[in-house]
Structures are given as C-alpha cells and as structure tokens.
Structure 1
Amino acid sequence: MTHIRDHNGVENPMEAQGAATGGSATPPQSPANGVTAEAAEARETPQKGAGQGSTAAGVSFGDSEGPAVLVVEPLLPQRLRRPSDALRFLATMLALAGVVLLALIAKQTLNGIEADVEVGTDRAPAPLVLIAGFVGGGAVLIIPVVFAVERVFHRDGLRVAEGLIAAITAVLLSFALGEWIIGSGPQDVRQLLTGGRPGVEPLNTLLTSVVAYMTAVRITRRPTWRALMWTAIALDVFALFTSATATVLGVAVSILVGLGVGFGTLYTVGSPNTRPPGSAMVAALRRLDFKPVKARRIEDDLQGSRRYAVTLDDGRRIDVTLLDRDRQVAGFLYRLWRRMLLNSETRRRAIRSLRAELEREALMAYAAQAAGVGTPKLLGTSEVGSEAALLAYEHLETRALEDVPDTQITDEVLTAIWKQVRLLQAQRLAHRRLAGESIHLDQDGNVVLIDARSGEIAAGDLLLRLDIAQLLTCLALRVGAERSVRTAAAVLGPDALAGALPLLQRIALTRQTRAALSRHKNLLSDIREQIVELKPRAEVAEVRLERFRPRTIVTIIGSALAAYILLSQLTRVDFVRVVTTAEWAWTGLALLASGMSYLAAALMVRGFVPEALPLGRTVLVQFAGSFVKLVAPAAVSGVAINTRYLQKRGIPPGQAVSSVGASQLIGLVFHIALLMLFAYITGSSAPSSLTPSRGLLVVLLGVAVAMVLLLSVRPLRRLITTRMGALFSGVVPRLLDVLQSPRKVIEATGGTLLLTLMFIVCLDACVRAFGGSLSFTAVAVVFLAGNAIGSAAPTPGGLGAVEASLIAGLTLSGQPYEVATSAVLLYRLLTFWLPVLPGWASFTWLQRHQAI
C-alpha cells in the first residue's frame, strides 16, 4: 500500500500496482536549437500508453533512469485548443478583409494586374500549359491522399479526420459564398472575383478545400510535403489562369478562406496535447543531479504556468515551475494592445519564445539574488523535451500579502517591503509586478518577492519610477494613502516619491490594481496629495505614457464616417448651379450673424462670471474655441478653453468650472425652452391644428427616442450623470453670486439668447440664399433639434452628425434635398470652417500672452 498526497496535502492510500498502469516513457530530449520535422511529427502522433504520463487518478511514475517517483497531478487533457490557432485564424480573417477592401479601392490597378496575368499566361508555350494543367490538377488531389495514407500507417488517422472535416467545411462554405456573390452579392465584388466571365467560380472550391485540408493536417511542419503541396497549388493556379477560369482576387480569396477554415478547424477540434507530463519533469531534474522521490502538482503561478512541489531524497523540498510552449501566446491580444497603447520604454513584447522566457526569468532571479533581495533561490534550469522548460527554486514557507490580515500589516512590515524595493532599485532592477500576490511574508515576517518573470535588468529611470508608483498604489489599497507614502518616504526619501508623482496613472498600473482602483475612485488623488505635502515644490516633468487614448480611436472612426457622409452628400450637389443661382445678399447676412455669435458667446461667459472680464479678450477666446473644435467634440471644446481662460484670469479652478457649468446649464434650459416655443409657434400657424407639422414632429420624436435609448443603457447613463454631476456640482452657489448683479443677469441671459438666435438667423439666411421658403420658426426648430444631436456626437465639432441632422430636418420640413444640402453646407462653412483661421490666430496670440 502506498500513500499519495492529493492537492490539499492529505495523504490517501492507493494501490501502487494500480498506479503503475499509467506510466509513460519520458519524451526524448531535443537539441537546444529546435527539433527536426520527424521529431515534431512524433510529438503529435498518439502512441500507445502515451496518454500524457498520467492515469485517470492523476498519478504516474518517473522514467526508468532511477528509482520510481510518484507524481500526483490532474489528468492532462488529450487535446488542447491552442491560442496560436485562434490568433492565426484572426490574422487570416483580417488579411482577407484587407485584400477585399484593397481590391475595391484599387479596382483599376487590380484590373491591370489581371490583364498582365492573362497576357503572360497566353504567351506560355502550349506544352507547358498542358503539363501544368495535367500535373497541377492531378497533384493537388494525389498529394493529400498520399499524405493521408502515410499518416494512417503512423497511426495518426485522427489528424486525417481533422483534415477531412476542414475540407468538407471549406467546400460547403466556398459553394455558399459563391452562390451568394453571384445571386445577390455586391456587384463590384462579383466583377472582381469572376472577371465578368460566365462559368467562373468566385471562390475556387477545389483550391479552397485543398488549402483547408493541408492547414488542418499541419502539413506545413513537414518541409518536403509543404514544398510538394505548394508547388502543386502553383501549377494548378497557373492552369486556372491559362484557361481563364479564375481571377487574381478569386485565387487570393480562395487561399485565404481555406487557411481560415483550416485554422478554425484546428482551434475548434483542438490539437494533440504535447505538454510533457510530470514524469518528464522528474527526468529533467535527475539530469540536473537532483534526486526526487515525490512530486505533486500545486496551484499554477500568476502567469498560468504549471508548478510542482518536489521532495528530494534528503528531505528537502524544491518548487518547480514548468513553462509550456503553447502558453507563450496566451494573453497575446491584451499584450499587443498594451504594446500599441504605451510608449516603447514601458511596453513588453507581445510574444516571447520559450527560450527567451526561460532566460529572462532566470537572469532576473540571479540578478535579484546577487542584489541581496529576499527571493527564492534559483537552483537550476533545463529544457523538458522541446515543448517545455523548467526552473527549480528553493522552497520557502510564505504567504501572500493579500492573504495577510490588515491588522498584521504594521509599519515595520511596510518598511521591510520598501527596503526590498530599494535593493532592487540600487541595482537598476525593475520588478514590474509589485502587487499583493507577488509580495510574500515568511514565517519570521521577512519579505519575499516572487514572480519576477516580467522584470527588467539595467532598467531605465522610467521603469524604476513605475515600480514605486505601482507599489505605492498597491499598499495604499490596503493601509491607506498616508501610511503608504509615509513609510515609502522613510526608506526611499521624498525625492524618489516626487519622481513617481507623474506616473500615478491608471494606465501605468497592473491589471489587478486597476480593477481594485475602480472601488477606490479617489485613491490616486489622495496619494498625490500626500506626496505634495512631503515635497510641495517638486518640479517633475509630465510623463505621457500613452501613445494615444481609446477616445482618439473613437474620434478617428467617427471622423472617417463623417467624412464619408459628407462626401456622399457632396456628390449629389451641382455646385455650378448652386453658385450661379445663390442670392449672395442672404449669404452676407449669414456671415454677419455668424460673426455676431462670437460676441454673444463672450457676453454669455462674462455674464456667468462675477469677476470682471475684458470683452475683447473674451471674444478672442471664443474664436480660439472654433479652432479647438477641429480636434475635440463640440460639447467639450468650448467648456475646456473657457475653463482654462478663467483659471488664467486668477479664478480658482473650482469656481471656473462652476461658472462654465452654470453657462452650460442655463444654455441647456434655454435651448429646450426655445425648442418647445418655436415648435408650438410652428404648429399653431396651421389653420386647423395647434401641433407641429408631421416632419418637425418626426424630428422631435427622433431626438426624444435617441435620448431615451441613451439613458436606458446603464453604463452610459452612469457616465452621463457622473460627468454632469461633476460639471454642475458647484453651479447653484455660482448662480446665486450672479443673481446679485442685475447687469450680470442681463449679460448672461441676453448673451445666451443672442447666441442661439444668431445661429438660427445664419441658417435661415443660408436657406433663403438658395431659394428656400421655410418659415423662421421652422428653421429654428430644425436648428435646435439638429444642434442637440450634433453636440452629442464624438466627432470634432459634431462633424457629420450636424450636417446629417440639419439636412434631414430641412428635408422633412418640405425643402428640396438639393436646397437643404446646399444651405447646410454653406452654414457649416460660415460657422465651422471659415472661423478656423482666425481661431488659430486667436489661439496662438492668447497662448503667447499666457491667457489660456
């Protein structure tokens, strides 16, 4: 009877004879620089008794090189869904979309390539054409069959079955796509895929299925078979071109669809599990001159790598980490996103080879040991076959800081943690993952740092400062900002904390820390305040970690859509007729109204600020806002630049925000009131009804529905209420200050009304300039409704949304589409594009004079 520990450390009796049935030989060790194609095939070919070295009970013996060693571990799955297959599938789909879009954009170029290919194949000698057609057509069918027979002889029929699944799927998919493209697909795509020739398949069914088959059976890992297969495909494609039964785009799409189906099949069905079992790990330890007698699988580490607790013959225990090759691409998309988002010095490689990962962790462990840092001692490293590598550490009885009660995290413990960080920083070592799960305490209360795989040696100042910012935040989540900063300053000094001050940004922290900060909204601000109290006059340059913000992507996409909308509108306007038929007297009035709107905006700002503001400079600030609208949404640009202007005038930030918030709130109230008033007047002008016209009612209902849908989404509603609450939190006290001065009240209300009326006059004059006959009140309703939609758009200045909503409103109100489009484009030219140049001049002048 043999006693074996389970995963909870409890000993259970188990018959040794029963456990022995699951033994397996250790996989042969591969050369350090890789493996041969035959070895790669052998790894993925199921062998008798090679079920991963484990029985159903999860127990196996070591190899025959020494005494039997019991290894307790869960039964490893026979097949795995490899993240690398999913990434290849995604990359193939992106390539397919890119090829199709590029073909649609460069149709003339593709047609020229198609003509060149036809000319070249027509000049080919007839015997060559005959041989290519015969050999290529036969080879693409014979080679897969021969490969399948070879795999069956090697007892790898399951791989052949996967290839057949992929081939059948590819046939069905290519047939379905071809029928859809021919029947109801886009005409341009159909023309490019078939060349307009009858009988040409949009996707070549044979080519698609063969590529899917060879991808699913992983024929690319066999160089000889790969060369034969691609040669046969090239000959077959040449034959298709000579017979004019395929196009360049059709061949490219067929190959990409086949690759996508093959990779999709591999990920869906899974691949044979080539991870070495615990017995292979034991054999590798013996080659390192360790003498294991017992091993059991314990909880995976923070990176998802397998870990084993191994007992040696002298009673010592070591902890072994296994790095599996197929795990190296896990989390690739997240790392790729961070790599694109962050500056080069802070980002990590999206994909690192198994050898690089092993060397990185080993080098960091040795460097930390040399620096005197409390960390488990690295005892040895080794490859485990060709699919894994191990690192053997000494075992330390510790517990993670996140498992330590708050009452036991004393100032002495915090000081000890910071001393370990000081040792790292003295040797220019960056840990890069200083969080509760990486900081441990041993039985004597000593600090132990683990999980240094993401660390950097010879780190730059930025990475070292990032470590301080990360640890400050992590400890503050447990003990508060004051204790975290105080203990750090006692060890590192105030200057080091001041250097980390600009790096206290959410984007700089680990994923777990960012998640914890969502429950402590003001923690980073509290840490900054504590550091400023220690070093009130610290001069530290601002650090920009992000290459771009996610909202920048939204703005770019929105701007692209807006440009598309505008271009589609412009193509439907006859500018020659517009210029020759426009009444330019009305255009002059529209230009005057547009200019007066800046004076009205200045009066509105002055009215909501109790302090005195110069009228001329305030008008220049409003012109500068028209320049800022080019890079910011309409609802943001005016608020930002006016707030900055008031702060530069000596008004405290809180009061400046409140003043601008008061103007925005009152402006919103006036906007809604005027919309209701003009809608009522427009409806009452009808002889038999006191309701607005049908078109205006549709516009109003559309705005209402959009607002209801926006507020019905909980995250959006929370975002709006949070932003509005922050903007209007101090509005009421500021309004009370304004109400004490009748002159300020007149300026505020008069400026608000005049601003709206000037925009309405401008749009009405633009409509009349092109022969429109809409009433002033109807134009007012269209403007007020359309401007509300445009202000909510994320594009700069509401670009695209304002034009579309105003054109729709004027068209629904009875104006011809050409008149509505011309009027709106002239209106946007006068109010958005024309003020850009004076706005840039005003912005530059105000900056030079420190006014904004």
Structure 2
Amino acid sequence: MGGPSILLPVDGDGGGGPASPRARVRRPSDVARLAATLGLLAALGALSALLPAAAGTTVPDGVRGLPRAVLSAANALASLAVLGVLAAVVVDALRHRRGALLPAAAACALGAGLAVAAQEAGEAGWVTPLGPSVDSAVVPVAAAVGLLVGADLPRGGRLTVPAAAALLAATGCAVALGSETVPGAVAAVLLGTAAGLAVRVAVGVAPARPPEALVAAALAQAGIALVGGMRPLEEAAGRVRWAAADAGGDLVLTVVDPDRRGVALASRAWRVLWFRTSAVGRPALSLRGVLERRALVAGLARAAGVAVPPVLALLPAGPALVLVERPLPGAPLAGDDAPGVPALTAGFGALRRLHRAGIAHGALTADAVVLLADGTAGLTDLRDAQPAAGELQRDLDVVALLVAVAAPAGAAAAVAALRAGYATGPAEEARWAALLQPLALTRPVRRAAARTPVLEDLRAALGGPDAPRVTPPRLERIRGRTVVSVAGATVGAHVLVTQLSDVGIGTALRQADWRWLAVAVLGSALTYVGAALGLLAFVPERLPLGRTTLVQLSSAFVTLVTPPTVGHVGVSIRYLQRSGVPTATAAASVAVSQVVTVAVTLLLLVVCGWSSGVSPSRPSLLPSGPVLAVLLAAGVLLAVAVAVPRTRRALRRRVDPLVRRTVPQLLAAATEPRRLGTAVLGVLLLNGGYVLALDASLRAFSTSLALSSLAVVYLVGSTVGSAAPTPGGLGAVEAALVGGLTATGVPLAPALAAVLAFRVATFWLPAPFGWLAFVGLQRRGRI
C-alpha cells in the first residue's frame, strides 16, 4: 500500500524517491473489523463462562505425543521466523513507510498490555485463565499480531503471507508445548488484532489513493499521455473524479478509493434494502466489479448506437483502479431553462435505444442527458446502469426522466416528447402513470418534484377516458414502525432476561441434555406439516403437501417483522392466489382454516384443562389448582381487553367480516367429513408439535410436567402471543410461558432455560430456513 513519503512505481511495490507526506485517513472498513473483533472476543468470553471445561482445551493426544525435543526445535525455528518477519516489517517501514512505524509500535505495546491485563484477570478469577501463569505465550503472540496489524501491511504484499505463516507456526508450537490453550491462542490473536485496529482507527493509516503522478504514469504505460495537470471534479464515498486532457481532447478519470471501500459497500447494501432487486438490479459488491460493469455497459450501449462517454481504458494504479472516459461534446439538458419538445424528444429517443439494448440507466436526471451538435442526445453518468434490466427497471427510468423534464418544460411538453421519442402505447402509459410516485424517483428528481403538482399533472396528461386501468405496482420501504416494533420486542426480551439475571441460567445450560433439544427441533418441524394440512383441507384445488409445507415454513421468516397471525395469513393467501385460486376463495379458505384452528385449539384447552384435574385417587371435574389459576388469569386478561371500548371496536371490525366470509364455507365443510377430519388432524399435529417441543425443552433441563398441564400452559401462552402486536409475539410469549410453568410448579431457573430453548427451536432456528424457502418460492412465482 502506498506510503505517505514515497512515490510508488506503477505496480505499487516499492521503489522511487521520497515525496511529501499526505494526510492520513480512517477507513470505515477498519471500524467494522474492530467491531467484529470485539464481538468475537465477547463471544469467546461468554463461551468460556458457560463451558469452563472448554477453556482448557489443548491439542489432540497425537500431537502432544510427539517428542518434546522435536516440538522445542520447531518452536525455536518458528520463534526465529516471527522475529525475522517483525524485523523485516520494521525495516520496510523505516525505508518506505515511516509513517507506519509509530502506529505499529503503539499497537504492539497495546496488544501486550491487553494480554497482560487478560492474564491478570484470569489469575484473579474474573475471567477464565488464557493459559499457564508461567512461560505463557499469550503476551508475545498478542504483541506480534498487534505490530503486524498496526503496521497496515499491504493486502497480498510480499510480507503478508510469511508473517501469517510464521505466527501460525509459532502459535501452534506454543499450544503443543502447553504454554497456551486453544482458546488462549484464539484470544491472543483477537487481542492483538483489536489493538492494531484500534490504533489504525485512532490515528489513521497512510492513504491508499494513488497520487496524481502514479495515475499519470499508469496512463502513459497504456498509451494515454496527459497534457497538463488534473483538476478535481467530484469526491464521494468510494471514488474520486478528475478532469484531464490528452492530444485527443478532454478526459474524465474515475479512481476507486480502496480506503473508502466500506462506505461504498454500505451504500450499495443500503440501496438493495431501500428497494428490491427487481427495481435496482443486483449491484456489484466489489470496487473492481463496479468499474467493470460500468465499462461493460458503455461498450454495450455504444454497440447499440447510444451516445455515451466512450471508455478508453480500465487500469490498475497501485492498489486502485482507474477508469478513463472521454466526455460527450454537448450541453446538458438541464442547462436549458425551458427545453423545447425537439430536445426532449431526442432525450427520450436516446433512452429508448438504451432500453432496446437491455440496459437500464438507474440514475436518470436532466443532467444525465446531453444534447449533441447533430440534434441527437446522449446519456452520461452510467455508474448505476444495469445490463439485462427487467421491465420495472426500465419503467423507473422512463418515469424519472419524465418527471425531471416536466418540472422546467411542463407536463404537456414532457408527455408529447415521450410519445414522439419513446413510441409509447396506451398500456405502457397507464403503467407509467401508476408508477408516478415519490418512492419510484431518484433522490435528485424527487427533491425537484417535491411540493409541486408535477406528478398530478403528469398523471392527468398520461391518463384519459380511454386509458386502460392498470393495478399500480406495490412500492414499499421498510417502515419506521416495523423497525420500532422489532427493536421494542428485542428490548422486551432483553429486559425479561436481565430481570431474572439472578437465576442460574448458565448452570442450567451446562447441564442440558442436547438429545432432548433435538427432539424439540423435530417437534417444531411437525408444526409446519400440521399447518399445511389445516390449510389444504379447505382449498378447492389439489395442491402438493410438500410445497404447501414450504409455504408454511416461509412464514417463519415473515413473522420476524410481523405479528404471528398477520404474516402467516398474508403468505398463505398469496400462495393460493399464485396457485390459481381466486382471491375471494383464497381469503375465505384461509379464514375458514383459521376459524377451525381457533375452535379446535379452544376445545383442546378445555379438554386439557379438565383432564389436568383428574387422578386415580382424586377424580374431579375441575382442572388442577395451578392450571385453574392460569386459565383464570387468561380469562381476566381477555375480559379486561373486551371491556375497553377501543379494543372491543377493533375486535368487532376484525370479527364481523371474518364471520360473514367463513360461515357459508364452514357449513359446506361440515358436509364433507374428509376435509373436516384433515383439518382437525392438521390442528392436532400443529399443537402437538409445539407441545412436544416444549416438553422436550423441559426434559432437556431435567424437568417434566404432566402432559395435560403442559398443553394448557402452551395453549395459553400461544394465545397471548397471537394477540401481541410484536413480531412473533416476542416478549409476550416468553413471559406467558415462564409464568405458566412456574405457576404449575416448575422452578424458575429450568423454566426460563426451557422457554428460551423452546423459542430457539420454534421461532429463531426456523427463520433462516424460512428465508431460504421464501426466496425459493418467490423465484418460482409461488408466492
């Protein structure tokens, strides 16, 4: 990596005379790496606290059985190699990168200090010891790693691989000789890495952006001789643009900045989160990929006859990449205060040719359209362009340019130019009119159109009495209340756990029987089969059980951001619609399935509550005392909810339409015993799977409960969770289950541990598999 006081050659690998030092920079990627390293250290500490026996893990017996003389010789050679590499790093810093020497020394000292502090904490009993108190290798390893990370060695440089190999060999020998444990070796490496990254974040690093002389030398080797100097045009996250010239005319140089790669990656990831990939495509996730795609798009566009800035070269300059373009000779469309219809028509014609080549621009504004001398137009600023673009991406381009030119020229002129230059039809215009929403616009265009009637004027100009009606596409962002809901649920669960921090959860987890936890996962899997059976029982079409089960599994992912019933119902209705079931029938089928599920669940609650009070020695028609207390508490909560007028009105609004839709289909289902039997079997399998998972979670912690009482606790907790507005009933389910278990006599520590294990098996663990099922079904057009 280029240093602050040396002019690198074109290959960026040393040599050259001294140059004036440049200001140091702080990389966002270093901040992310530091946070990840600290997270790994925290996870290692938590693991050592939960499993103290693992903290003393050493190497396998086969390695310990090697002759100690052989291990000692190997350790001596590895130590000499480490010292040699460290000396080479120091010499390299003195010769070429003097600005890296002091940060490296500071990181070395900080790494050693952190290791000493960790050892002292281990001896004091605050944390698990990292290794033996005498002749421990933790401090030297942490110091060496801190020096190497603080020196900011170039990625792939000549010293990087030898340094990593020497440190790995020395650490392995230390573990084999017993001067370090395996967790201690990992902790030493993490402590040294954290020290080096902390110093790099605090004082910065030598910038990797190549100086102008290095860029000029790289261009000269490619046959592009610059005339004069370079003038800065734009500096943004991840890139810098310079204006230059050669014998053929003006040039624009785009240099990707390795020091800012974290910001560039974050902005591209945010773009994907802000819109779906069907709207913005799949952005390149590497700096090289960004420029390579830009060069590819420019070549495809010019081959299709679209005037775009020609790409002359894509070159490496040290650790950076340089894209060389020749700007289009013309005036931007935005420079004309009131562009006429011919100029606007030329702009839409250029966009039409670009779209015919399968390319979407992705960032259209009036500045991106250039009027050429021959009366045609060209397009610039292709950094967000996408090859092989879909229809929605092309439509968003049209809408963006339409709004951008309508602001200065008027809606009538913009629509007339669109019809003349883009050759539109009634169906396309209706689709674009539906897309005239602020969310569909790029940020500059959205700001220009804000607080103006331009969107309404364009809809009126595009529409008409004969225009076909088109359902507008659904454009959404992640809503603030969704984020608040997830955050609130997480905070609630955290508060629940921290309030019970005096409970010995760690001891309970260490004593858990993991075989029963596997049974809990199996019970969780059965619930999705039961849910699929309950849905298929009332669908008039024959649908495969396997695919329907995957649809129910995908709802496990959706419930991460929605209340449990809402997400499940929405996914099921969408699946039935995609399967050819009419919307009204799909909604009625799902509603009937939910009604039968609720009815059978209530019947199970009554039966289990009654059976919990029956015993050979004391038969009774009443449930047992603890179960009766749980049922009474649930009844009181329901009564209080119904007594509130606002809640009562909300229930009436939700229940009345449901009753009107479901009663006729319920009566029809009652005449078909096979469908009703399938539905009841599905509900029993659904609830039985959850009860099995809860029972197995209890048995994993050497606790059990009568099946009827356990079923009552689960059913009450499930009812509370379904009514909670948080995603998946987070916080409410946990509190209800813990309260129900402790009320029926289960001690608090195993009850809390069992509930947490139950929620992992039935809520958190299925979520990633639900995401895979959701993505797969969506790609196949099933949901």
Query: TM-score, normalising length from structure 1?
Result: 0.53
The answer to whether residue 512 in structure 2 is matched with residue 512 in structure 1 is no
Change (3 A) 1:308 1:651: closer
The residue aligned with 1:80 is 25
The residue aligned with 1:418 is 348
How many residues align? The count is 619
The answer to whether residue 117 in structure 2 is matched with residue 176 in structure 1 is yes
Identify the match of residue 395 of structure 2 among 449, 469, 474. Answer: 469
The answer to whether residue 433 in structure 2 is matched with residue 433 in structure 1 is no
The residue aligned with 1:160 is 101
The residue aligned with 1:669 is none
Q: Secondary structure at the match of 1:305?
A: strand
CA contact (8 A) 1:786 1:805 kept: no
Q: Secondary structure at the match of 2:378?
A: strand
Q: Secondary structure at the match of 1:419?
A: helix
Letter in 1 for 2:231: R
Change (3 A) 1:170 1:404: farther
Q: Secondary structure at the match of 2:324?
A: strand
Distance (whole Å) between structure 1 residues aligned to residue 371 and residue 59 of structure 2: 73
Identify the match of residue 260 of structure 1 among 181, 185, 194. Answer: 194
Distance (whole Å) between structure 2 residues aligned to residue 122 and residue 649 of structure 1: 69
Distance (whole Å) between structure 1 residues aligned to residue 312 and residue 152 of structure 2: 38
Identify the match of residue 122 of structure 1 among 54, 65, 70. Answer: 65
- How far 1:395 moved relative to its partner? 5.6
Letter in 1 for 2:354: L
CA contact (8 A) 1:26 1:283 kept: no
The answer to whether residue 383 in structure 2 is matched with residue 449 in structure 1 is no
Letter in 1 for 2:20: A
- How far 1:177 moved relative to its partner? 3.8
Distance (whole Å) between structure 2 residues aligned to residue 807 and residue 179 of structure 1: 42
The answer to whether residue 428 in structure 2 is matched with residue 494 in structure 1 is no
Change (3 A) 1:335 1:313: closer
Letter in 1 for 2:391: R
Deviations 1:628-647 (A, max 9, x none): 69644335158759999999
The residue aligned with 1:837 is none
Identify the match of residue 50 of structure 1 among 17, 20, 25. Answer: 20
Q: Secondary structure at the match of 2:353?
A: helix
Identify the match of residue 241 of structure 2 among 272, 296, 306. Answer: 306
CA contact (8 A) 2:332 2:366 kept: no
Letter in 1 for 2:140: L
CA contact (8 A) 1:139 1:232 kept: yes
Q: Secondary structure at the match of 2:58?
A: helix
Change (3 A) 1:109 1:302: closer
Letter in 2 for 1:512: R
Deviations 1:425-474 (A, max 9, x none): 33333434334553445799864311224435xx43xx142442221342
Identify the match of residue 398 of structure 1 among 300, 310, 331. Answer: 331
Identify the match of residue 210 of structure 1 among 144, 148, 154. Answer: 144
Q: Secondary structure at the match of 1:80?
A: coil
Change (3 A) 1:238 1:27: closer
Distance (whole Å) between structure 1 residues aligned to residue 115 and residue 721 of structure 2: 43
Deviations 1:629-681 (A, max 9, x none): 9644335158759999999999999xx99xx9xx99xxxxxxxxxxxxxxxxx
Q: Secondary structure at the match of 2:345?
A: helix
Over alpha carbons, which structure has the higher Rg?
1
- How far 1:420 moved relative to its partner? 0.9
Identify the match of residue 371 of structure 1 among 304, 309, 314. Answer: 304
The residue aligned with 2:185 is 251
Distance (whole Å) between structure 1 residues aligned to residue 59 and residue 215 of structure 2: 60
Unpaired segments ≥5 residues, structure 1: 1-23, 52-76, 577-615, 619-623, 665-694, 708-720, 745-768, 774-778, 834-851
The residue aligned with 2:93 is 151
Distance (whole Å) between structure 1 residues aligned to residue 59 and residue 247 of structure 2: 76
Change (3 A) 1:477 1:180: farther
The answer to whether residue 85 in structure 2 is matched with residue 131 in structure 1 is no
Letter in 1 for 2:395: A
- How far 1:360 moved relative to its partner? 4.2
CA contact (8 A) 1:211 1:255 kept: yes
- How far 1:35 moved relative to its partner? 5.0
- How far 1:275 moved relative to its partner? 3.1
Q: Secondary structure at the match of 2:326?
A: strand
Deviations 1:725-779 (A, max 9, x none): xx98x969x999x99xxx99xxxxxxxxxxxxxxxxxxxxxxxx97999xxxxx9
Distance (whole Å) between structure 2 residues aligned to residue 515 and residue 543 of structure 1: 15
CA contact (8 A) 1:276 1:388 kept: no
Q: Secondary structure at the match of 1:422?
A: helix
CA RMSD of the aligned region, Å?
A: 7.1
- How far 1:166 moved relative to its partner? 0.8
- How far 1:277 moved relative to its partner? 3.7
CA contact (8 A) 2:369 2:377 kept: yes
Letter in 2 for 1:424: L
Distance (whole Å) between structure 2 residues aligned to residue 466 and residue 539 of structure 1: 14
Q: Secondary structure at the match of 1:297?
A: strand
Q: Secondary structure at the match of 1:349?
A: coil
Q: Which stretch of the first structure deviates more once superposed, 159-168 or 287-296?
A: 287-296
Distance (whole Å) between structure 1 residues aligned to residue 717 and residue 297 of structure 2: 62
Change (3 A) 1:251 1:434: same
- How far 1:545 moved relative to its partner? 14
The residue aligned with 1:275 is 209
Letter in 1 for 2:93: R
Change (3 A) 1:818 1:129: closer
Deviations 1:395-433 (A, max 9, x none): 6353464x766xx36655553332112211333334343
Distance (whole Å) between structure 1 residues aligned to residue 270 and residue 54 of structure 2: 33
Distance (whole Å) between structure 2 residues aligned to residue 545 and residue 168 of structure 1: 47
- Structure 2 counterparts to residues 361-760 of structure 1, below 5 A: 361-378=294-311, 384=317, 387-394=320-327, 396-399=329-332, 401=334, 408=338, 412-440=342-370, 447-456=377-386, 459-460=387-388, 463-475=389-401, 477-478=403-404, 479=406, 488=418, 491-494=422-425, 497=428, 512=443, 536=468, 631=556, 632=559, 633-636=563-566, 640=570
Distance (whole Å) between structure 2 residues aligned to residue 473 and residue 649 of structure 1: 33
Change (3 A) 1:35 1:28: closer
Query: TM-score, normalising length from structure 2?
Result: 0.57
Change (3 A) 1:212 1:156: same
The residue aligned with 1:675 is none
Unpaired segments ≥5 residues, structure 2: 498-504, 517-537, 541-547, 596-631, 665-704, 764-782
Change (3 A) 1:106 1:347: farther
Distance (whole Å) between structure 2 residues aligned to residue 477 and residue 303 of structure 1: 29
Letter in 2 for 1:415: T
Change (3 A) 1:218 1:803: closer
Distance (whole Å) between structure 2 residues aligned to residue 80 and residue 185 of structure 1: 37
Letter in 2 for 1:396: P
Q: Which stretch of the first structure deviates more once superposed, 377-386 or 423-432?
A: 377-386
Letter in 2 for 1:206: P
Distance (whole Å) between structure 1 residues aligned to residue 98 and residue 571 of structure 2: 70
